[in-house]
Structure 1
Amino acid sequence: MEARRTLALVLLVGVIWSQLQFGAEAAGTTVFTLSNNCTYTVWPATLSGNSAVAVGGGGFELSPGATVSFPAPAGWSGRLWARTNCVPETSGASLSCATGDCGGAVRCSLGGAPPVTLAEFTLGGADGKDFYDVSLVDGYNVGIGVAATGARVNLSTCGYAGCVGDVNALCPAELQVAGKGGEQSGMATTTVACRSACEAFGTAEYCCTGEHGGPDSCRPTRYSRLFKAACPAAYSYAYDDPTSTFTCGAGAQYLITFCPAQQQ
Structure 2
Amino acid sequence: MAINSTTCLLLLLFSFGILGSSATVFTVQNQCSFTIWPATFCGNGIATLGDGGFSLAPGASVQFPVPQTWSGRIWARTGCNFDSSGNGKCVTGDCGGLLKCPGGGAPPVSLVEFTIGKDANDKDFYDVSLVDGYNVGLGVKAVGGTGDCRYAGCVTDLNGKCPAELQVTDSGSVVACKSACAAFNTPQFCCTGDHATPQTCSPTQYSQLFKNACPTAYSYAYDDATSTFTCSGSDYLITFCPS
**TM-score range for the pair, normalised by the shorter chain length:** 0.7 to 0.9
Q: Shift in Å at residue 93 of structure 1? A: 2.5
Q: Which one of 13, 20, 33 corresponds to residue 39 of structure 1? A: 33
**What is the RMSD computed on CA atoms of the aligned residues?**
2.0
Q: Could you tell me whether the CA contact under 8 Å between 1:125 and 1:131 is conserved in 2?
A: no
Partner residue, 1:121: 114
Q: Describe how 1:103-252 pairs up with structure 2 within 5 A.
A: 103-124=96-117, 128-150=122-144, 153-154=145-146, 157-180=148-171, 189-249=172-232, 251-252=233-234
Q: Shift in Å at residue 110 of structure 1? A: 1.4
Q: Percent identity?
A: 61
Distance 1:88 1:166 in 2: 26
Q: Which one of 86, 89, 96 corresponds to residue 93 of structure 1? A: 86
Q: Shift in Å at residue 95 of structure 1? A: 2.7
Distance 1:30 1:247 in 2: 14
Distance 2:225 2:217 in 1: 10
| SS class of match (2:79) | strand
Q: What TM-score comes out, normalization by structure 1 length? A: 0.81
Q: Could you tell me whether the CA contact under 8 Å between 2:47 and 2:102 is conserved in 1?
A: no
Distance 1:56 1:72 in 2: 11
Q: Could you tell me whether the CA contact under 8 Å between 2:75 and 2:109 is conserved in 1?
A: yes
Q: Could you tell me whether the CA contact under 8 Å between 1:41 and 1:64 is conserved in 2?
A: yes
Of Structure 1 and Structure 2, which has the larger fraction of its residues in helix? 1
Q: Shift in Å at residue 50 of structure 1? A: 5.4
* Structure 1 residue ranges, 4+ long, deviating more than 3 angstroms after superposition: 50-53
Partner residue, 2:64: 70
Cα-to-partner distance string for 1:184-242 (whole Å, 9 max, x where unaligned): xxxxx200000000000000000000000000000000000000011101000000001
Q: Shift in Å at residue 52 of structure 1? A: 4.0
Q: Could you tell me whether the CA contact under 8 Å between 2:45 and 2:102 is conserved in 1?
A: no
Distance 1:73 1:117 in 2: 23
- What letter matches 1:65 in structure 2? G
Q: Could you tell me whether the CA contact under 8 Å between 2:40 and 2:53 is conserved in 1?
A: yes
Q: Go from structure 1 to structure 2 and tell me whether the alpha carbon gap of 1:139 and 1:125 turns closer, same or farther (over 3 Å shift).
A: farther
| SS class of match (2:210) | helix
Q: Shift in Å at residue 51 of structure 1? A: 7.7
Tell me how many residue pairs correspond in the alignment: 225
Distance 2:91 2:151 in 1: 28
Cα-to-partner distance string for 1:166-187 (whole Å, 9 max, x where unaligned): 110000000000103xxxxxxx
| SS class of match (1:192) | strand
List gaps (5 residues or longer) in structure 1. 1-16, 181-188
Q: Shift in Å at residue 142 of structure 1? A: 0.4
| SS class of match (1:98) | coil
Q: Could you tell me whether the CA contact under 8 Å between 2:39 and 2:100 is conserved in 1?
A: yes
Distance 1:104 1:71 in 2: 26
Q: Shift in Å at residue 154 of structure 1? A: 2.3
Q: Go from structure 1 to structure 2 and tell me whether the alpha carbon gap of 1:39 and 1:53 turns closer, same or farther (over 3 Å shift).
A: closer
